[in-house]
A = this chain, B = another copy of it.
Amino acid sequence: MSPLNEEQQLQIRDERREQIMSAALKVFARRGIIGTKMSMIAAEAEISHGLLYHYFTSKEELFTTLVEKAMLASDEAMQMVYKLPGSPIDKIRALTQDMMDEGGTDYFLLIHQARTSDGVPEKVVELMERYSMDNYVKQLRALFREGQEAGELAEGDLDEMIASYLSVLSGLMVLNVQKIGGYQLPKVDVLLRMITP
């Protein structure tokens, strides 16, 4: 009866899930959970809104799933920096550049939405508590220490420097959400001056 074998079924299912999550990420990242309507996600994914509920039981679940994925992805991205070529400052420059670029920003924005918006599911709130900015700080500590030791970075409290710098980058990413408004993205070298001697 079934025209497709089980494996194919599963593959289709997975593809659909990806398609929906990708669409949802785009919308949630820009508009937050409250500002996002399920119909917007359906439109972005080019499927009917009814179909969303075959893959996710609710808007909350979809959001939560994305946040979890985003946390993994941002961890990974942060680790990636160590594999980049060049001196510590080169790596930091590359990381900064990445964060200012269009791509990959969405996961970061989603986390920001999760952190600062209302109407966020309880589960996400818990995730956020366990997974604060400190996490990033911890991951970058080795890199920044190395830079400091190499004299490429300014002196001073390491964790504070990292957290401050990440905050600045975060703020810029959030602002840049929408091209409107005439905000100006600073050049990477200008940003780096904050942490270089």
Contact = CB atoms under 8 A, between A and B. Distances in A.
Interface of A: 31-32, 34-35, 112, 115-119, 128, 132-134, 160-161, 163-168, 170-175, 177-178, 180-187, 190-191, 193-195
11 contacts: A116-B175, A116-B181, A128-B180, A133-B182, A160-B184, A164-B190, A167-B172, A167-B184, A168-B168, A171-B173, A190-B194
Contacts of A31: 118
A195 B130 CA distance: 36
- Greatest chain B CB density within 10 A among A168, A180, A194 is at A168
Copies in the complex: 4
B194 A191 contact: yes
A165 to B, nearest CB: 8
B34 A181 contact: no
Nearest to A178: B116
Contacts of A175: 112, 116, 167, 170-171, 174
Contacts of A165: 186
Given A34-B35, A35-B119, A119-B35, A170 B183 contact: yes
B35 A132 contact: no
Nearest to A197: B193
B132 A181 contact: yes
A97 to B, nearest CB: 15
Contacts of A178: 115-116
A169 to B, nearest CB: 8
A171 B170 CA distance: 7
A187 B164 contact: yes
A180 B115 contact: yes
Given A117-B35, A174-B175, A164 B186 contact: yes
A121 to B, nearest CB: 15
A12 to B, nearest CB: 12
